[in-house]
Amino acid sequence: METLLLLNRWLHIAAGFTGFFVAPVALLVRKGGAAHRLWGRVFFWAMVVAGSTAILSASLQGLTFLLLTGVFSLYLAQFGYRSLYHKRMGAGQLPTRYDWLSVLVGLLIFLGTIGYGLLSRPFNPVALVFGGIGLFTTVRQLRGFRREGAWPAGQWLRNHISGFVGSYIAAVSAFSVTSLSFIPFPLNFLWPTLVLVPLMIWLQRRYAPEGKAVKL
CA distances, 116 to each of 47, 181, 182, 188 (Å)? 24, 23, 26, 19
**Confidence band for 212, pLDDT divided at 50, 70 and 90:** low
The tens digit of pLDDT for each residue in 130-158 reads 889 889 989 989 999 988 888 888 899 99
| Cα dihedral sign, 203-207-213-214 | negative
Cα(85)–Cα(69) distance, integer angstroms:
25
Q: 93 forms bridges with which residues in the sheet?
A: 89
The tens digit of pLDDT for each residue in 12-54 reads 889 988 998 999 999 889 888 999 999 999 999 999 999 999 8
Neighbour tally for 29: CB within 10 Å: 16
Residue 66's identity, in one-letter code, is: L
Cα(212)–Cα(1) distance, integer angstroms:
54
Q: What is the pTM of this model?
A: 0.88
DSSP conformation letters of 74-118: HHHHHHHHHGGG-TTBTTTB---HHHHHHHHHHHHHHHHHHHHHH
Closest by Cα among 162, 140, 161 to 151: 140
Q: Where are the domains of the chain?
A: 2-207
